[in-house]
């Protein structure tokens, strides 16, 4: 069974038919949200502007989440002390929803953070 979201904001992706994965929240299905490119850039810039020492780690974690679509629980469960290599890329292995493990390539700015 699928549910059709109405395109109220001019975003064509909202017209896609999405599978219903469980019970609706408060009697209705919630639309999936995302950040536009400029919003993501401002989000990362705010993390980089943090004066506290963990800003590099925070920026790297947010970068992985934004570029790879990793959930908070997935990134928190990753062993960042043991990154891998694949065809010249640094990689990070995460356990996805449902227990599936996936190797993710890391962009150079994230690796250097």
- pLDDT tens for the chain, 113 residues: list them: 444 444 455 666 666 565 555 545 555 555 556 778 888 888 888 888 888 878 888 888 888 888 888 888 898 888 777 678 888 888 989 999 889 999 988 888 777 76
Residue 99: phi and psi, rounded to 5, are 90, 0
pTM of the model: 0.58
Task: Provide the edge-to-edge strand list for the sheet that holds 101-105.
Answer: 84-86, 89-95, 101-105
Q: Which fold has domain 36-113?
A: hpI Integrase; Chain A (1.10.443)
pLDDT confidence of residue 50: 85
Bridge partner residues of 28 (DSSP): 25
Residues 95, 96, 99, 105: what is their CA dihedral angle, to the nearest 10 degrees? -50
pLDDT confidence of residue 41: 87
- Residue of 13, 20, 66, 73 lying closest to 42 (CA atoms): 66
């Amino acid at each position: 069974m699928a549910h059709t979201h109405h395109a109220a904001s001019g975003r064509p992706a909202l017209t896609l038919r999405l599978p219903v994965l469980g019970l609706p929240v408060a009697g209705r299905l919630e639309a999936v949200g995302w950040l536009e490119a400029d919003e993501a850039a401002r989000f990362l810039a705010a993390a980089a502007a943090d004066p506290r020492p963990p800003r590099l780690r925070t920026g790297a974690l947010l970068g992985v989440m934004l570029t790879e679509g990793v959930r908070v629980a997935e990134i928190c469960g990753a062993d960042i002390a043991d990154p891998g290599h694949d065809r010249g890329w640094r990689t990070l292995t995460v356990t996805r929803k449902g227990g599936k493990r996936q190797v993710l390539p890391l962009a150079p700015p994230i690796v250097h953070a």
